Structure 1
């Protein structure tokens, strides 16, 4: 009986135009709304307006190279704003992540009560827009209308001046921490809920308490989520603008150049110097990228070192 020859199947073509068609909208949006604005900003930062024509005062745009960058890096107001912003980040990021991790661990304990209500209550400040939150806290800080001042005076204690030169940085940082703890808590709590419960049961069988489980089991397992929230929080603090800009009309201790973004706003929209603002934006973006990479590398080395 003759044996039928095996049917050869044509090899399927891998790929084809379908993946590229599906990726095309995202690529187009990336180019139009990210790469093109970045390129245009860099192009503006290399140019400047010059007045020519004697008494006529004709303004022409010319290529000046790195002159705008030199002016930005030698501007004392911009440099002071950078240092103040870094100090603000050193206060906000550890405080915010520490509170978020603490609340997430407390809500993940087996004996927690009113867990859903507590999560909503902690997350609720994040739902308040930054400008509204800054206005609310600003009126709490103002000596004439602050109920906190009335409480201190009722107790016979000297009332603190939250907008004094030595305390305004902590007042602005308090607004950032108040608004950011809830979001980071939700991220870390979600990561905790993804850990298998069997690992906790095994630790309890070995005699570990809840504090030991939290520090030696939970925290190492959610380290990727902690690293992610740390990076996002650092980027957010390097771009702080709403809080000091909203408090600026309420007090003289917050100047128009209190942080770099306020200096950029002043140059672009008050002084109509878009070229200096573009150079300052590029410097801030490069600094944000450098700090993010450094923090990510440091946290990853510590996490991998613990795993080993």
Structure 2
């Protein structure tokens, strides 16, 4: 009697005979995905193909007209907007590797037997990620101003004067905020991936005479390559879409113009320039550039993986 009752219970809770149950679980994600991701992309692409025209030498009304690729021609003729790409690319070439190296080093350190009170230190490293980027930029902006920063005033008392918001150092100020905010989440992702690596592999490496450093570099890191790729890809995408940190710091320094990054240029065109159609075209160009860079990164990873497989 027990077996039939258990079978009936499993059928009742598994949704047997109700083919709509799986779709009901998937529906909330699908709706949110369509409304907040797919729909804005479609609206942005459509807006980029139209322009608002005024009649009567500017004294008449305005009308929205289909202009095709006219906005895209204006985008590629805008040198200020295009210069934002080499800025963020150069910034990413420095910031992303530094962040990944620190995050990987912390993940490997927490995975080893060298650290005590691991939970506390993991929480301490992850905690800055819980602070919204705008708040983080405001906090660090306070520390970057010599007139109010206790750190800079302390250094100034020893004759060390540093302008962290100067023309040559403002990128390092932005990078510091990003590192402080994002190292924790990348470390957690890599550390979680390390937990899935079979411990037998570590024991085999130790039997072969490998120390902690060699085991970390030759066993652990190769085993979590997908997690490394995921965090690197998300960091690259975030770099190309850099906005919050320079936008906040712009209010306390004149070395960050409104078109400092592509995302800032899009925002300025949409709000200050009041040209939603042109800003939509700029957003489409930024989205395509992000897609191309992501595909190139994935292709490079596949090529490296294939080369490594062929070498074996």
* TM-score higher than 0.5: yes
Q: Give the one of 49, 53, 61 matched to 2:52.
A: 49
Match of 1:11 in 2: none
Match of 1:106 in 2: 109
Residue 245 in 1 paired to residue 243 in 2?
no
Match of 1:286 in 2: 288
Stretch moving more, 252-261 or 30-39:
30-39
The structure having more radius of gyration, on CA atoms, is 1
Structure 1 pair 70/210, CA: closer, same or farther in 2 (3 Å)? same
Q: Give the one of 174, 177, 180 matched to 1:178.
A: 180
Gap regions ≥5 residues in structure 1: 1-13
Residue 97 in 1 paired to residue 83 in 2?
no
Residue 203 in 1 paired to residue 205 in 2?
yes
CA RMSD of aligned residues (A): 2.0
| Partners of 1:296 and 1:55 in 2: CA distance | 49
| Partners of 2:223 and 2:59 in 1: CA distance | 69
Conservation of the 8 A alpha-carbon contact between 2:147 and 2:153: no
Write the deviation string for residues 249-303 of structure 1: whole angstroms up to 9, x where unpaired.
1000011111111111111122210001100000001111111111122123223
Conservation of the 8 A alpha-carbon contact between 1:223 and 1:303: no
Conservation of the 8 A alpha-carbon contact between 2:258 and 2:268: yes
SS at the partner of 1:48?
A: strand
Match of 1:40 in 2: 43
Q: Give the one of 140, 146, 149 matched to 2:149.
A: 146
Q: Give the one of 45, 61, 84 matched to 1:58.
A: 61
| Partners of 2:20 and 2:132 in 1: CA distance | 43
TM-score by length of 1: 0.90
Match of 1:227 in 2: 229
| Partners of 1:144 and 1:133 in 2: CA distance | 19
Write the deviation string for residues 201-240 of structure 1: whole angstroms up to 9, x where unpaired.
1111111111110010001001111011111111111111
| Partners of 2:39 and 2:197 in 1: CA distance | 42
Q: Give the one of 209, 216, 230 matched to 2:218.
A: 216
Conservation of the 8 A alpha-carbon contact between 2:146 and 2:153: no
Displacement, 1:54? 4.4
Displacement, 1:39? 1.3
Displacement, 1:160? 1.4
| Partners of 2:94 and 2:80 in 1: CA distance | 21
Displacement, 1:142? 1.0
Displacement, 1:246? 0.3
Match of 1:155 in 2: 158
Residue 79 in 1 paired to residue 85 in 2?
no
Write the deviation string for residues 160-187 of structure 1: whole angstroms up to 9, x where unpaired.
1111101101111111111110000000
Gap regions ≥5 residues in structure 2: 1-16
